[in-house]
């Protein structure tokens, strides 16, 4: 497969996660009905089919798609609903921080 200049290696993402969390490839393979050699191949390839990556997300309870999205430029478009939700949550955090500071001052 020809690699693009902006390629994000899903194999490396998977390999790093497996190493960091000390997961046995054979155990992971059994979880998704594949052998450990298949998992090894996934970690060595620069790309993984999305169907397999979704299976790995569920098996490992980790969102590799978010990891990929985090490596894309902030200028790329995203779901507008999510942007609004994030903005709302940021505002709620500010309000809660102010309330927390006031409560801490009242306790003193």
Q: What is the CATH number of the domain that holds 52?
A: 1.10.260.40
Q: Are residues 26 and 72 in the same domain?
A: yes
Q: Are residues 106 and 56 in the same domain?
A: no
Find the mean pLDDT for residues 20-48.
Answer: 94
What pTM was estimated for this model as a whole? 0.68
Contact partners, residue 40, CB within 8 Å, separation at least 6: 25
Q: Are residues 82 and 59 in the same domain?
A: no
Q: Are residues 60 and 87 in the same domain?
A: no
Please check whether residue 2 lies inside any domain of the structure.
Answer: no
pLDDT band at residue 4 under the 50/70/90 scheme: low
Q: Which phi and psi (to 5°) does residue 43 adopt?
A: -70, -25
Q: Is the pLDDT of residue 3 over 90?
A: no
pLDDT of residue 78: 75
- Domain with 21, as residue range(s), is 7-76
Q: Are residues 86 and 38 in the same domain?
A: no
Q: Are residues 70 and 91 in the same domain?
A: no
């Amino acid at each position: 497969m020809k690699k693009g200049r902006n390629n994000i290696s899903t194999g490396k993402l998977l390999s790093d996660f497996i190493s960091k969390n000390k997961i046995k490839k054979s155990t992971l393979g059994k979880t998704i009905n594949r052998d450990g050699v298949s998992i090894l191949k996934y970690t060595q390839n620069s790309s993984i089919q999305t169907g397999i990556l979704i299976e790995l997300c569920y098996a490992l309870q980790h969102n590799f798609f978010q990891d990929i999205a985090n490596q894309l430029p902030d200028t790329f478009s995203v779901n507008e609903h999510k942007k609004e939700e994030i903005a709302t949550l940021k505002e709620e955090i500010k309000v809660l921080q102010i309330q927390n500071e006031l409560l801490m001052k009242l306790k003193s």
